Amino acid sequence: MSKVLIFFAEGHEEIEALTVVDLLRRASIDIDMVSITGNKRVPGSHGIMTVCDKLIETVNFDNADMLVLPGGMPGTLNLELCEPLMDQVNGFNVSGKGLAAICAAPTVFGKAGFLQGKKATCYPGMEKDLLGAQVSTDEVCHDKNIITSRGLGTAIPFALEIIRTLKGETEAERITKSIVFRQ
């Protein structure tokens, strides 16, 4: 079974994060909501309190197949400032393991140099931070081990691409139909 970790910082974009969690759980993908704040209760950018499954200090990264970074402000900046998280993100990139980010969060990968020559997208107006990327306006870009997406309005296609990557087209199509998305 695939294992995904999604990270919650103060100021995360609630819909982007929780859409991924919801759809991956519907696809029977093991996903843990991980707080980087030292508290399992993490306030989002719109004042919605999210209760995470784990704290970053307790996570076993060795069992994870993919790390997911939701966007939002200042959530994205807080993720980027979390040294233990960035150490793991760097390690995942070096090993070619899955990385996914939506909205402002793909800029974390860009600033780290992960997007050199790769097709990527992000929230409109933040493209300058996709350093070295072949910038796209597609809803979702998937290039090698990295999946990026534009924002709240693309959270469903983003989650479906993660499902497609981990469980295949048949499962992604099943979830698409079950949520009555683009039928």
Instruction: Output the six-digit token pair for 126.
Output: 């933040």
Cα 66 from Cα 81, distance rounded (Å): 20
Q: How far is CA 177 from CA 16, 27, 120, 157, 159, in A?
A: 20, 12, 27, 13, 14
Q: Which of 52, 82, 103, 122 is catalytic?
A: 103
Among 80, 74, 19, smallest CA distance to 42 is for 74
103 is catalytic: yes
Active site residues: 103
